[in-house]
Structure 1
Amino acid sequence: MSFKKETPLANAVFWAARKGNLALLQLLLNSGRVDADCRDSYGTTALMVASYSGHYECVKELIMQGADINYQRETGSTALFFASQQGHCDVVKLLFEFGASTEFHTKDGGTALTVASQYGHSKVVDTLLKNGANVHDQLNDGATSLFLAAQEGHVTVIRQLLSSGAKVNQAREDGTAPLWMAAQMGHSEAVKVLLLRGADRDADRQDGSTALFKAALKGHNSVIEELLKFSPSLGLLKNGSTALHAAVVGGNLRSILLLLGANADPTLANKNNELPADLTKSDRILKLLHPKISNGNS
């Protein structure tokens, strides 16, 4: 966080809030010469700074001195947002005791719940949900708290959100679902949980790729193994290719073996009439593919 204060005393208040120096903070506030809601040029308040830094007693002192709990800085962030972002559950609970609201959004649509989910702070997520946070909150691009947790592989948070009613297949505006994102990032345990909770194994995004296609391209073998348990499509996708084509392009031998073991068809051509074997010069990969290709195609 960057601070530009208007007066030396305000500067000292911010320093005390950031460092957790309660005695100095009390001295400054009790002097009557500086307001509890003094702020920098971005609208950051001392309460936000103390909340971000996790200094419980300083947060409490500022609140008792009249600091505005729900004040939003230029970006839309509040003290609750910052405490949630940093995982300071005790501060989050304290802010709720004095009337903090979960309804405020940042300029990109973020809320305390979306940011706590993104950073995997499960205790904060639990506290937020118990205090009325909307599990369906989403960023301006459509990313939900569940999507953000899946992107980072935060399995505990994923379970919490799903148990609180999060929609497992709700995609971002570009069509990317939580399962697709978890697969791309290689988070196999997250993929497993999402599948068990009803995620569409063949959901594709705007480019026509599925979770299996992306995992195959990236060589995320543990993800491929989880997806294959749910019999995803091994045929031609909307992008005009197959997961086996993707695995060959990715060059991961284990990925290719997994798909072949699941009966992926090496004789199936893509939209450019190319077989998977046409997409590699690797002798090792070709040896895997050729025994599987029927006479006349090898």
Structure 2
Amino acid sequence: MSYKKETPLANAVFWAAQKGNLALLQLLLNSGRVDVDCKDKFGTTALMVASYTGHYECVRELIMQGADINLQRETGSTALFFASQQGHNDIVKLLFEFGASTELQTKDGGTALSAACQYGHSDVVETLLKNGANVHDELSDGATPLFLASQEGHVTVIRQLLSSGAKVNHPRKDGTVPLWIAAQMGHNEVVKVLLLRGADRDAERKDGSTALFKAAHKGHNVVIEELLKFCPSLGLLRNGSTALHAAVMGGSVKTVALLVGANADPMLPNKNNDLPADLTKNDRILRTLKPHISNRESL
């Protein structure tokens, strides 16, 4: 957290909150010479600082001294947002005891729940959901808590969100669904869970690529093995290419072998009329493709 201290007393309050110096914080607040909700130029308060750094007793003292729980920083962040982002579940629970709101958003649409999901704090996620956090929250780009958890590979959080009604196929504004982003990042356990919970194996992003296409290009072979269990499309996609073309371009012999073994057609051209073999000079990949090409040519 970055903040700018404005006055010597505010400086001391922020320092005490950041360092967890309860005695100094009490001394300053009891002096009557500093506002418990004093802010820096960005709207940061001592309560936000203590919540971010995880100093429970300082948070409690500030609340008892009358700190406004739901003040928002210039960015829209609140004390609850910072505590959730950092995984301080004891502070999250304390803030809820005194009326913290789950509905306040940052400028990019972030909420305490989206922050906790992004960083994988499953205990905080549980507390937030129990206190009314909206599992369907979206960032300004359309990313949901489930999307963020899928992107970062947080399987436990994903299960929590799905059990609370999160939509497994809800896309970001560019058409990217949780399965696609998990496949791109190589999170095979996430891919497995999403597929078992009804993720569309062939959901296309706006550019026409699928989870299998992206995993093939990246060479995420364990992800590909999970996807192949659900018989995804091996044919020509809306982007004018196939997963096998992507695998060849990615340069992984094992990935090419996986797809060919799943009956991907090495004789299927892309939109430019290129066969997968036309896209590489890698001898090992060409040898992997050649027997299948020869077999088809002899039919």
Query: What is the TM-score with the length of structure 1 in the denominator?
Result: 0.99
Query: Equivalent residues in 2 for 1:104-253 (5 A)?
Result: 104-253=104-253
Unaligned runs of 5+ residues in structure 1 are: none
TM-superposed deviation, 1:7: 1.2
Deviations 1:205-233 (A, max 9, x none): 01100000000000000100000000000
2: distance between equivalents of 1:297 and 1:236? Answer: 20
Deviation track 1:86-145 (CA, whole Å, cap 9, x = no partner) reads: 000000000000000000000000000001000000000000000000000010000000
Q: How far apart are the structure 2 equivalents of 1:158 and 1:211?
A: 18
Q: Which residue of 1 aligns with 2:47?
A: 47
Amino acid at match of 2:64: M
Q: Which amino acid aligns with 1:65?
A: Q
Asked if residue 18 in structure 1 is aligned to residue 18 in structure 2, the reply is yes
State how far apart, in whole Å, the 2-side matches of 1:188 and 1:123 are. Answer: 23
State the Cα distance separating 1:147 from its structure 2 match. 0.2
Distance 1:133 1:294, change over 3 A: same
| Matched residue SS, 1:265 | coil
> Distance between the aligned counterparts of 1:297 and 1:91, measured in 2?
68
Aligned to 1:266: 266
String of CA shifts for 1:3-26, please: whole Å, max 9, x gaps: 222210110000000000000000
CA distance in 1, matches of 2:137, 2:211: 24
State the 1:294 CA deviation.
3.7
Cα distance in structure 2, aligned partners of 1:111 and 1:133: 9
Take 1:49 and 1:70, find their aligned partners in 2: how far apart are those partners? 14
Deviations 1:173-227 (A, max 9, x none): 0000000000000000000000000000000001100000000000000100000
> Aligned with 1:47: secondary structure?
helix
- Deviation track 1:37-68 (CA, whole Å, cap 9, x = no partner) reads 01100000000000000000000000000000
Please, which runs of 5 or more residues in structure 2 have no aligned partner? none
SS of corresponding position for 2:240: coil
- Output the TM-score relative to the length of structure 2: 0.98
Output the CA distance in 1 between the equivalents of 2:243 and 2:2. Answer: 46
Q: Distance in 2 between matches of 1:36 and 1:148?
A: 34
Cα deviation for residue 295 of structure 1 reads 6.0
Matched, 1:292 2:292: yes
8 A contact 1:234–1:242 mirrored in 2 = yes
Partner in structure 2 of residue 89 of structure 1: 89
Aligned length: 298
Aligned mates of 1:192, 1:262 — CA distance in 2? 18
Residue 267 of structure 1 contacts residue 294 of structure 1 at CA under 8 Å; is this kept in 2?
Answer: no
Please give the alpha-carbon distance, in whole angstroms, between the structure 2 residues aligned to 1:153 and 1:2.
Answer: 27
Aligned-pair distance for 1:153? Answer: 0.4
Cα distance in 1 between the residues matched to 2:237 and 2:294: 22
Residue equivalent to 2:6: 6
State the 4+ residue runs in structure 1 displaced beyond 2 angstroms: 294-298
- Distance in 1 (alpha carbons) for counterparts of 2:247 and 2:5: 55
The 1:182/1:112 distance shift into structure 2, 3 A limit, reads same
